[in-house]
Amino acid sequence: MSRRARTRFRPLDGILLLDKPTGLSSNQALQQVRRLFRAEKGGHTGSLDPLATGLLPICFGEATKIAGLLLGSRKAYVAEAVLGATTDSDDADGQVLRQRPVPEIDDARMEAVLAPLRGRIRQRAPIFSALKQGGEPLYAKARRGEAIEAPEREVVVERLEVTGRDGDRLRLLVECGSGTYIRSLVRDLGEALGCGAHVSMLRRLWVEPFVAPAMHTLEQLQALAGQGDEALLACLLPIEAGLAGLPSVTVDADGEQRLAHGQPAPLNGPAPGAEPVAILDRDGRCLGIGRADGDAIAPSRMFRWAVAGQ
């Protein structure tokens, strides 16, 4: 009996803009992509529900050091809400808990319900979510049938609009900050209307700074993998692409050495007005990210090529 060849993983740095398919968890999608690229190290930048599709930035190698920045970025979604039924997961993958008739809803009523869900709001997470409580994801507790008091937290919803309606189905456009649950928005919308609602479709459109992303599906990546490394690796973006929009500072050779040893480097110009800050060498290559500290720049996460002697 023949044995399948063991995958030989390799060091690989860069960012892939994956168009996640429905039916896979974000981690399952990550592992499939990591095997295709044979990347030693990889991580994703914020979970998408198995039901959801769309942009899932995948960070390989040193790019995992900026994954936290992407996780905290603004995001945009298109969602479909089904009125009249609530589920235990707040989406179509869950069990129906209650069904209620859908009332007549005119534009004025809809706007009155949407308005309180915009801006800086308090939101209760779904019980089937990756949010951790006592060191364990809520979904693990929910699957065991434990009683869960999902926490509330403050989130920012910059845009929430109904862009279409077909019977009891609403199409929504959402732009929001980090930590916002679209399922919770739809659940709360349904309760405000008095009929309940759940998400039947969810697609992430963009994640800053990738606001017009050229995404790649798993099928496309598998086809490219069959053509060889050159075609597949052409899909990767440099780490700098994930830092677009951040203020930057340029350091000289002495500054590089200081930063490589974890020491602050003097600023050669005005201090940036925000943090984190991208740290560049004289050739424009990104060495890592840091923070302004008076008249110096202090290292936060430096890439391996910034280490002295490499």
Handedness of CA 83, 140, 130, 54 (dihedral sign): negative
Which residue is associated with the tokens 């990546």? 221
**Nearest Cα residue to 236 out of 11, 16, 71, 8:** 16
Which residue is associated with the tokens 């434990």? 146
**Nearest Cα residue to 13 out of 308, 307, 305:** 305
**Nearest Cα residue to 195 out of 298, 112, 109, 83:** 83
* Bond into 209 cis (ω within 30): yes
**H or E segment and range at residue 222:** helix 218-225
Range 155-193 burial, b when 16+ CB lie within 10 A, else e? bbbeebebeeeeeeebebebbbeebbbbbbbbbbbbebb
Known catalytic residue at 188: no
SS3 state at 278: strand
Q: Which of 49, 90, 91, 188 is catalytic?
A: 49
SS3 state at 109: helix
What are the structure tokens assigned to 9, written together?
A: 């993983």
Beta strands in the chain (DSSP E): 14-20, 42-44, 53-60, 75-83, 85-87, 96-99, 119-124, 132-133, 136-137, 152-166, 169-176, 197-207, 248-250, 265-266, 277-280, 286-293, 296-302
SS3 state at 257: helix
- Residues involved in catalysis: 49
